[in-house]
Amino acid sequence: MKGLWIRNANVYLPDRVLTGGSVYAAGGRIARICGPEDGSPAKPDDADEVWDAEGLSIVPGFVDVHVHGGGGADVMDAAEDDEAIGRIARFHALHGTTSFLATTMTAPRNELERAVDGVVRAMERGVAAGGAEVLGLHLEGPFLNPRRCGAQNPALIRPFDRDEMEDLLARGRGAVRLVTLAPECGDALRRIGALRDRGVTVSIGHSEADSETVRRAIEAGASHVTHLFNAMNPLHHREPGIVGAALLRDELTVELICDGFHVHPDVVKLVFAVKHRDKIALVTDAIAAAGMPDGDGYRLGGLPVAVKEGKAVLRDSGNLAGSCLTMDRALKQAVAFTGLPLAEVLPALTINPARQIGADDRKGSIEVGKDADLVALGPDLTVVRTYVKGVRVDG
Helix and strand element counts for the chain (H, E) = 10, 21
DSSP state at residue 357: T
Q: 64, 74, 259, 285: which one is catalytic? A: 285
294 is an active site residue? no
Q: How many CA atoms lie within 13 A of 131 on its CB side?
A: 21
CA distance 315 to 21: 50
Amino acid type, 157? I
Contacts of 155 (CB under 8 A, 6+ apart): none
| Per-residue H/E/C for 115-183 | HHHHHHHHHHHCCCCCCCEEEEEEEECCCCCHHHCCCCCCCCCCCCCHHHHHHHHHHHCCCEEEEEECC
Sign of the dihedral defined by the CA atoms of residues 183, 188, 194, 199, in that order? negative
Q: How far is 329 from 95, CA to CA, in rounded Å?
A: 8
Burial per residue of 162-187, b for 16 or more beta-carbon CB atoms within 10 angstroms, e otherwise = eeebeebbebbeebbbbbbbbbbbbe
Among all residues, which ones are annotated catalytic? 285
